[in-house]
Structure 1
Amino acid sequence: MSVTAVVGAQWGDEGKGKIVDNLAEHSQMVIRFQGGDNAGHTIINQQTQQAEGGKIVLNIIPSGIFNADTACIVGTGCVVNPEVVLNKMQVLESIGVSIDNLWLSERAQVILPTHRLLDGLKEKTGRGLGTTKRGVGPSYADKMARRGIRLGDLKRPEWLKLRLTQSLDYANKEFARFGEESLEFEALYQQCLAWGEQLGDKIVDMLPMVQEAASSAQEILLEGQLGVMRDVDWGIYPYVTSSNPTPGYAAVGAGLPLNAIERVVAVVKTYSTAVGSGPFVTELHENSADFEAGETLCNVGKEFGATTGRKRRCGWLDGVALAYSSWLNGFTDLAVTKLDVLDGLSEIKICTGYRLPDGKVITRYPDTLDLLPDMQHPDKRSTLEPVYETWPGWQSDTTRVRAWEDLPAAAQAYLRRIEALTQVGGVVNPRLRYISVGPDREQMFEM
């Protein structure tokens, strides 16, 4: 057995889908271990050319689905909107992609219409966190409060009736608090039964499948969503997701022993991006000296949400956050993406420290309250100033490069600096392994 976890090293949107799509060619099983359909993994390969725009955005279905011999499982740690899964299954089948090897854990939580409605209502209050309003947070909240509906419940009518009564009772009280009308039980119950019938045998006990794959020495790939800076425990709380996109949780969400994970592939974008609210020290906002560089990163890198279409906040690479992420995740390998986006820049910056208002420079990643300028106005920009190193750009096209030795010397130096920043405390010592120089599957090479 060989188990590899692929995780985001930053705020998400690093390009994990492309890396998983490539690695899945050599894997017999891919498991999505956490998250919901609030983030999308964009896939561009030969099969997706028949789709609109020549690409497919996978919101919850594992990115290994394009490999016909790879079993793809939506794991126990996920929250699942059945409507989203069913719609995406239709899209995949319409371009000739088989879904015969797609499975969903019966223990995964269901995102109900109530969750989406509550998510939207909370964002409307003006005290929201910039969520995608997909119902992910409320679904995880119900899970922790032990009133959630699991996928397996959809196939057990009497049990579903009991569980849904409890869940809807709570939701309707919340709707009343917002001045909204209650939802009727019967319509929601029938919708859930229909989902159970439509998904049918796709809903399984995943554990025997995972155990069989592990005992027969198969290659297993664990696919995460978002990145450690959005982790509910170690991210910039409360500007976080509602789950743990780290290897420590990957084993839990996938139904594997913790010591089964041999490799942790960190997907690192060559610059930083974030979506939603919260402090972002290296953001190149309109008052930044390098604002135009930020606009270049956004436009050349096509930094718009795969799920929402929202423009992403862009900034220089944050080495402080990257080192923090490396320690918490225990990276063994680095997959660096979007190197080509930097091709046209004459100089590139890397943040290696934060300057406090008193002038002191720190190199550790602080807690949220140390990042905020004002507790009464937490959405204002951080008063911490990034301390930068400036690196020369290479100003040449890297999109056709397929080997390390063919990269410009300045690009090699920049990549080695990223590698050095992730080597922490003599304990975590990842190495550069994969370099991506474009969105297509073929625009990537292994070192």
Structure 2
Amino acid sequence: MANVTVIGAQWGDEGKGKLVDWLSNRADVVVRFQGGHNAGHTLVVEGKTYKLSLLPSGVVQGKLSVIGNGVVVDPWHLLSEIEKIGGQGVAITPDLLVLADNACLILPLHRDLDQAREAAAANKIGTTGRGIGPAYEDKVGRRAIRVADLADRSALEAKIDRLLAHHTPLRRGLGLPDVDAGALLAELETLAPQILPFARPAWLLLDEIVKSGKRVLFEGAQGALLDVDHGTYPYVTSSNTVAGQAAAGSGIGPRGAGYVLGIVKAYTTRVGEGPFPTELFDAVGQRLGERGHEFGTVTGRARRCGWFDAALVRQSVALNGISGIALTKLDVLDGFETLKVCVGYKVGGETLSYFPAGLKAQASLEPVYEELDGWSETTAGARDTRDLPANAIKYVRRIEELIGAPVALLSTSPERDDTILMRDPFQD
């Protein structure tokens, strides 16, 4: 039986939390492999809502959960989230949660820098201001503080000095006060006893788990179109969000990713700035947002809404090696007389079947639409394809044709069990 890697195949917010929670029943271990606490997953389990932004979704199921080395970790937020979920009856212990000892930390100075840059920028990226980008900058700049450093005071002191040698000029240029190295050291030493019990070589644990024949579910954050290499740059996140990162961000090796399940919303949304060819500014867009409850889990920001973009998802299928998709929020389209699907773009008299990399071309894209008949019946809560209207099934089949990937799962409400299994990713 295969491992499964779950990634968002659009701009994030596709409903990964519910699907990962649903798939956790079939997995033994759940792994987060990139991003930080800028990503939010909302789980609805037996009427109780859990909002996670750093903890893997598997904790709610009581499954062994791993925060991999590809994640940048705000240790204060992690402790806060552990406490919050504990208050909902889920005790997070080192037997349940493993934190990669080579993961890099997000510090208050990263948050300061993130927020100051965004406030000063003429062309804003639309970050969450939580320090994710600056933390990744320090990681690739080889000056980051990692989880394992919390156990070594001498290493911690030296790394803080090196880190501040870089950050002090940046802070002064932005009008921020200098960081007190002694105070930062004291803060890290205070939280170390609370963090270190969770720290282990995650790669070694996962190697043992895979060799034992257990099944691993890799949980991505954000979406493939926000990938720092392959997304709508520079309006992207600061990490690789594509499926290939599951290997690098967990240490499991490239063959370990298994079946790649792309989560795809039945329409399209985006949070923050950046190009969005099918965005709707009319009553239809408003209706999608209201019916889909399109507000960010972490930020509360209203999401921009538009028609399904098959050209973008087709590109995402290729970039991620997607084996099959989970199509979510089909019920939001109930009651539309007609639906539109973008099948390509026109730009400068030329027709493109893919999303171009150039900023000028991106800004001038005109979507080419195909119209499909909608349906008046409800799909909400359907758990079998026999419960779906004929036109809803036609819509699903046409999406499969346009993106070049089969639908493995259909989600018809936020509830975990309102899911139609068409192909089991763990069996393929």
TM-score by length of structure 2 reads 0.96
Query: What CA distance in whole angstroms lies between the structure 2 residues aligned with 1:432 and 1:135?
Result: 36
Deviation at 1:98, TM superposition (A): 2.7
Structure 1 residue 169 displacement after superposition? 2.4
User: Taking structure 1 as reference, are residues 2 and 98 closer, same or farther at Cα in structure 2, changes over 3 Å only?
Assistant: farther
Partner Cα distance (1:99, 1:148) in 2: 26
Equivalent in 229, 232, 236 of residue 232 of structure 2:
236
Which residue is 2:253 aligned to? Answer: 257
Give, as a single letter, the amino acid of the residue that structure 2 aligns with 1:444. Answer: T
2:308 is aligned to: 317
Match of 1:89 among 66, 79, 82: 82
Give the whole-Å Cα distance in 2 for the aligned partners of 1:240 and 1:312: 15
Picking from 141, 147, 150, the partner of 1:151 is: 147
SS in 2 for 1:322: helix
Partner of 1:164: 160
1:2–1:217: 8 Å Cα contact kept in structure 2? no
Aligned 1:205-284 pairs, distance under 5 A: 205-284=201-280
- Is the Cα–Cα contact under 8 Å of residues 153 and 160 in structure 1 kept in the other structure? yes
Q: 1:363 aligns with which of 344, 348, 353?
A: 353
Residue 182 of structure 1 aligns with which residue? Answer: 178
Q: State the distance in 2 between where 1:126 and 1:173 align.
A: 18
> Are the aligned partners of 2:218 and 2:257 in contact in 1 as well (CA < 8 Å)?
no
What are the residue-to-residue correspondences of 1:188-199 with 2, within 5 Å?
188-199=184-195
2:56 maps to: 62
What is the deviation of 1:229? Answer: 0.7
CA distance in 1, matches of 2:361, 2:187: 44
Partners in 1 of 2:128 and 2:154 — Cα distance?
A: 33
Answer yes or no: is 1:111 the counterpart of 2:106.
yes
Hey, what's the Cα distance between the residues in 2 that align with 1:79 and 1:146?
A: 14
> For 2:323 and 2:51, how far apart are their aligned partners in 1?
27
Amino acid of the structure 1 residue aligned with 2:13: D
Task: Tell me: CA distance 1:368–1:193, structure 2 relative to 1, closer, same or farther (3 Å).
Answer: farther
Displacement after TM superposition at 1:41 (Å)? 0.7
- Are 1:284 and 1:315, in contact at CA under 8 Å, matched by a contact in 2? yes
RMSD: 1.2
The residue type equivalent to 1:438 in the other structure is S
Match of 1:375 in 2: none
**Aligned residue for 1:378?**
none
Could you tell me which amino acid in structure 2 is paired with residue 38 of structure 1?
N
Q: Is the 8 A contact 2:56 2:65 kept in 1?
A: yes
- Per the alignment, residue 123 of structure 1 pairs with 118
Partner of 1:13: 13
The residue number in structure 2 matching 1:71 is 64
SS at match of 2:213: coil
- What is the deviation of 1:56? 1.5
What SS is found at the alignment partner of 1:226?
Answer: coil
State whether residues 110 and 139 of structure 1, in contact with CA within 8 Å, keep that contact through their aligned partners in structure 2.
yes
Q: 1:344 aligns with which of 335, 339, 342?
A: 335
One-letter amino acid matched to 2:320:
N
- What residue number does 1:22 align with? 22
Task: Report if aligned partners of 2:222, 2:241 keep a CA contact under 8 Å in 1.
Answer: yes
Match of 2:293 in 1: 302
Deviation at 1:422, TM superposition (A): 2.1
The structural deviation recorded for 1:370 is 4.0
- 1:279-304 CA-to-partner distances (Å, cap 9, x unmatched) read 1111112xxxxx11100111110111
**Kept after mapping to 1: 8 A contact 2:147/2:196:** no
Whole-Å separation in 1 of the counterparts to 2:112 and 2:253 = 36
Asked whether the equivalents of residues 338 and 372 of structure 2 are also in contact (C-alpha less than 8 Å), the reply is yes
Distance 2:7 2:239 in 1: 13
Structure 2 residues without counterparts, runs of 5 or longer: 423-428
Q: Secondary structure at the match of 2:272?
A: coil
Report the CA distance between 1:405 and its aligned residue.
2.0
Distance 1:176 1:400 in 2: 55
Answering whether residue 419 of structure 2 is matched by residue 438 of structure 1, we say no
Q: Contact between 1:279 and 1:371, CA under 8 Å: does it hold in 2?
A: no
Equivalent pair of 2:150/2:196 in contact (CA under 8 Å): no
- Spell out structure 1 runs of 4+ moving beyond 6 A: none
Percent identical among aligned pairs is 40
Give the conservation status (yes or no) of the 8 Å contact 2:267–2:307.
Answer: yes
Deviation at 1:21, TM superposition (A): 0.3
2:364 equivalent in structure 1: 383
User: Please, what TM-score do these two structures have when normalized by structure 1?
Assistant: 0.92
Deviation at 1:142, TM superposition (A): 0.3
**CA shift at 1:26, angstroms?**
1.4
Query: Retained in 2: the 8 A contact 1:32–1:75?
Result: yes
3-state DSSP class of the match of 1:213?
helix
Counterpart of 2:387 in structure 1: which amino acid?
Answer: D
Task: Quote the residue 2:320 is aligned against.
Answer: 329
Distance 2:271 2:257 in 1: 29
Q: Distance in 2 between matches of 1:112 and 1:400?
A: 43
Letter aligned with residue 56 of structure 2: P
Alpha-carbon distance, 1:369 to partner: 2.2
Q: Deviations over 1:366-390 (max 9, x none)?
A: 1132434xxxxxxxxx322111111
Counterpart residue type for residue 441 of structure 1: R
Amino acid in structure 2 at the alignment position of 1:25: N
Residue 181 of structure 1, CA deviation:
1.3
Partner of 1:13, secondary structure, is coil
For structure 1, the residue ranges without an aligned partner over 5 or more in a row are 286-290, 373-381, 424-429
Q: Distance in 2 between matches of 1:446 and 1:126?
A: 45
The match for 1:377 is none
